[in-house]
Amino acid sequence: MAGDFDENSSAGITYLGAFATGPSQALLGYAVLGREKGDGLLMALIVRPELRRRGIGSQLLAAVGDCASYLGFDRLRLRVRRSNAPALALYKGMSFAQRSVSRKYYANGEDAIVMSARLPLKATL
Ligand SMILES: CC(C)(COP(=O)(O)OP(=O)(O)OC[C@H]1O[C@@H](n2cnc3c(N)ncnc32)[C@H](O)[C@@H]1OP(=O)(O)O)[C@@H](O)C(=O)NCCC(=O)NCCS
Residue 89 CB coordination number (10 Å): 11
Q: What is the pLDDT of residue 124?
A: 87
Whether 77 shows a pLDDT value over 80: the answer reads yes
What average pLDDT does range 52-77 have in this prediction? Answer: 98
Domain ranges of the chain: 2-118
What average pLDDT does range 71-81 have in this prediction? Answer: 98
What average pLDDT does range 94-120 have in this prediction? Answer: 98
Whether 58 shows a pLDDT value over 70: the answer reads yes
CA gap 85, 90 in Å, rounded: 9
CA gap 29, 41 in Å, rounded: 18
Q: Is 49 in the pocket of ligand 1 (CB under 6 A)?
A: no
Q: Whose CA is nearest to atom 10 of ligand 1?
A: 55
| pTM passes above 0.75 | yes
Q: Is 41 exposed, middle or buried (0-12, 13-18, 19+ CB in 10 A)?
A: buried
Q: Is 112 in the pocket of ligand 1 (CB under 6 A)?
A: no
What average pLDDT does range 78-82 have in this prediction? Answer: 98
Measured in Å, residue 10 CA sits from the centre of ligand 1 at: 31
CATH fold label, 2-118: Aminopeptidase (3.40.630)
The answer to whether residues 44 and 34 touch, using CB atoms and an 8 Å cutoff, is no
Q: Is 47 in the pocket of ligand 1 (CB under 6 A)?
A: yes
